[in-house]
A and B are shown apart, each in its own frame.
Chain A
């Protein structure tokens, strides 16, 4: 325990630090000075908590440990910043992520060194892939022990480097406020992303206090996210849109992140163009809107994929031409001129070469586009657009989203999602895990508002949905928050049922239980002659008993007739309780449409037997 010498003998510690400072020509640390009321002296731990508060933090999701004990002591002594104790650090990251996706504000995670830090990696990667603002505070062993393979030492900066927007290591306690301010600035501006701050324990010593200065403005000479798009490019884009005969607007998560869904709606409605959303963009344009053709891509609607394939002008907004959208890039939208608005220059022409790139914030560019449309004497070619809509409506007639209900009581997953949509009046925050249930939720829950559909789109992280729902519910206690999951995914973070009891977080968990890893099984059915290699979940727990053991309500639904009452109980009778709805669904069901691998946008399976 020799590390504690400095705490026990603060005077000696001060002399030692002053000596070190002199040797290395660092500013001499300030001696604690109670008399001077103009200067506030705080320990590193106190500075961290204060700086988080000044950065607008309400909730920290975390788990304490050795390297962070001074910080947790500082947390204990104040009430401005609330801490939520999770049961596994991965869940802390997903909670912060869910909070960030629903509110648009950075989520904050606090974990100890070593395993605490590494347990957040999946959560950080999830946020990174979907451009979600997050600040992760990780403890670190004492500076002088770094590199010695000390107890609970991990090179967190090294481990997290490929999945963060940026990271900092604290080298002087007095830098903490500035680093925190910088971290929030970087995490939340431009293309948002996670930022890690690694803090060695000796930077937070309670007896070493320094002048606390929170910077009024953050200065970073090498970081200047674009503030507006290039006017010439925007003009070119508008000209192209006005000449279009078969246009489509393809909007992604960037629209939601920028808070520009209203602007997207205004543009779509003004031009009377069809609009499709990516998995991340659902809700940016109303799901029940007349001009909405549904989600596009691998499990997109028939009409969305057909519209994309046959378009002559594609306006991509805050979307990144992901491989789950484009199918084979060489066959993607063969006749289209492509306009791409994105705040990240590296997203442009990464997978698909575009004709009119516009680097800038979505909202600002859309404003400028609208202004140009106002000024212009031209209007879209009404006749061409009308015949384009006629074509699209013919595609809609094919009604590829229909599914056959079973004659037996065993429900199809689609009808359960439709029932949830009706029960929540289409207005819930819906989180999901990853797999078939995620796709069914995306397809059959019509999101009319942005920030309501919360899922791990880019990384595809099972175990994301439940903690994300918790993060949202804590921030919006009056709103309905439903986690759509499967019996596979939910078990990846099920320990958080305990956190929900501690803090009283009444989220609703809808488990589409098909007794197998549905999406894996679907691919095995389609590509491996039905050899279900390790996609069958044997020995599932009795979920009802399990959630009851954690102090919550469990309801099992085995047949169609039981569902209405179960939903009534979930949303009314047990409104203030966590309810786990374990709904048996048909394991044979596949997600359709499904694009044919290596094909174009229009090459799809529409059912087990029907192909385009």
Chain B
């Protein structure tokens, strides 16, 4: 597989495709419910002043996710 990386490494303005999640905690269910399912497209919209959380566009909605959660989400970079 090419270009696999954690969601936290997705630069602002770039888009990725979600491949899988590494953790299986309560947050996994929550993130899936929020629409972060396999092969969904996610875009880094903008950073907060401190760089954490980060605002992402997923299925037409903007949501802020913490780095603690996003580093467990593995994406494939697309242009």
Partners in one complex: no
